[in-house]
Structure 1
């Protein structure tokens, strides 16, 4: 029997249950879980803030593991997978490849058939989340081996934050010398701050909190940090303008999940600048802005960014391997938790007591 953590319903205590070892279909993989991330999405799931979640679920949508068994599966490069390989996988499963969004819009993150491990797949259907000793990777799951030079803990330090941030930073089209403001100092924001540097930003300013996350932003190269607990929106705007000749940021990336951050971010961005909203993954309320002053007159380019696809994960693996010497990725990991500590891990993430928390079965 295989142990896994189950979230039975919103606000309900997590439970440790046992599951039978699955029989593998052709093209499937049984993954021995090395680690699975605890991220803000899991806190939202626990609070019931995502629609269409088929509780009970096994949480954990970004994971890394060692192949325990494979039935003819191949990786994204087309190579046959073998027992013992350390791999990660795109948490999105079942994208059809045939609908209008997949074929015409080339926006697979909006495919109506899209399912997500640890989020929209029920535990009643098996080991389809990362907070378990093993994960059943169904045929068609996109599997990406980790290169030998990339330690699995280093990859998990980025977790889902890295491919999500990579998507946002790509949409931001950061140019050499740009001033980039990142709203939010969680994993997505911290990864965005690093990637902005790699894209050639002239300076990176991180706005957020608490102190443990702002210190991580400093260690990972932010030129300035602004604590939201010690400043007003007006003071934050003044601080940004002081560092940009009175104009504002060339690019601002919102990674907070707080609705009020969006109109503030629009005002932090210079006229004819770019604003990428990636943090509003769940519906936690509305915000208002002045469409004349904040958008139209500013000639502001606002871009929404939803999740990530296999290309973002694939590129994240390569970026983290290439720059492992420059960035001590594992410094982002605050604590590792066993399966029987999952409730504590979830509460620590929800309360922002950690930068990065991992479930390590």
Structure 2
């Protein structure tokens, strides 16, 4: 039998569940889970802040595993088009089932908005199978985008970036960060921390982190932030004054919001220079309204505001390449504050919710190798 952790519903205690080994379809893959991240999305799921979730579910949407079994017939292939092999270490894009035919897939080239998309660990019911990473094995349906990890990339370093890395890569790309730009990142969680590293790789001249929680502020310093501002120690006006002092009175060329706090959005607009770029990546759930002045904060200032919703398989592939190339430049693995067995998943979830950790991993005993 295969052990998994199930989230029965919002606020309900996590439960263990045993599964039979699944029968694989042609082109399917069974992964033996090495590790799966615990991220803010999992907290949102437990708090019931995402619509349309078919509870009960097995959480865990970004995972790494070893190929344990391949379905009969046609070989499953990775994103390069190469056949997968037993024992290979891989990750996969959590979004599955985009149709490739709707207007968003074909015209807008925005697969993250495809109405048919399903997401491992989020919108795939636990009653239908092993479709989340908080389990000893994960069943990858035919057509799931699989990315093989380069042999010299530590899988823990990849999970340290986790879902935050492709989301941050999407945001940094939308921000068009140029050489010498001053970049502000609002939020020192995994998305924000990854955005700080990526801003440097894109040539930022100065990176300013704004966030909270001592352990996360320290991580921002380790990842190269030039200035770290503690939201608990300063008022918004004091933060604005500080930013203007270090930017010649202008503000940031690019600001990336990665907080999930509505009030951060109007503040971020004001922290950004006239004709600058503001990317909103952290408003993944509806936590309320925020107010800004369309004339003073947006139009008169010629501000370019861009929304960033999730990531696609291309962002995941690029994220893996960035980690493999620059894993020695940035201490990715140092972001991992704790590893938890399946039976400790409830504690891991609570630690992430309370921001006692930067990154928490679920590492089943079956995956400890």
Instruction: Answer whether TM exceeds 0.5 for this pair.
Output: yes
After TM superposition, give the deviation of residue 151 of structure 1 in Å.
0.6
Gap regions ≥5 residues in structure 1? none
Distance 1:210 1:239 in 2: 20
For residues 223-262 of structure 1, the aligned pairs below 5 Å read 223-262=226-265
After TM superposition, give the deviation of residue 321 of structure 1 in Å.
0.4
- 2:367 aligns to what? none
For residues 1-361 of structure 1, the aligned pairs below 5 Å read 1-71=1-71, 72-361=75-364
Distance 2:227 2:218 in 1: 11
Q: Number of matched residues?
A: 361
After TM superposition, give the deviation of residue 215 of structure 1 in Å.
0.5
Q: CA RMSD in A?
A: 0.4
Distance 1:293 1:327 in 2: 38
Distance 2:168 2:295 in 1: 29
Distance 2:81 2:206 in 1: 40
Distance 1:218 1:30 in 2: 39
Distance 2:286 2:59 in 1: 19
Report the TM-score when normalising by structure 1.
1.00
SS of alignment partner, residue 157 of structure 1 = helix
Report the TM-score when normalising by structure 2.
0.97
Q: Deviations over 1:155-208 (max 9, x none)?
A: 011000100000000000001000000000000000000000000000000000
SS of alignment partner, residue 50 of structure 1 = coil
Q: Deviations over 1:64-90 (max 9, x none)?
A: 000000122111111100100000000
Gap regions ≥5 residues in structure 2? 365-369
Distance 1:345 1:324 in 2: 25
After TM superposition, give the deviation of residue 347 of structure 1 in Å.
0.4
Moved over 4 A (4+): none
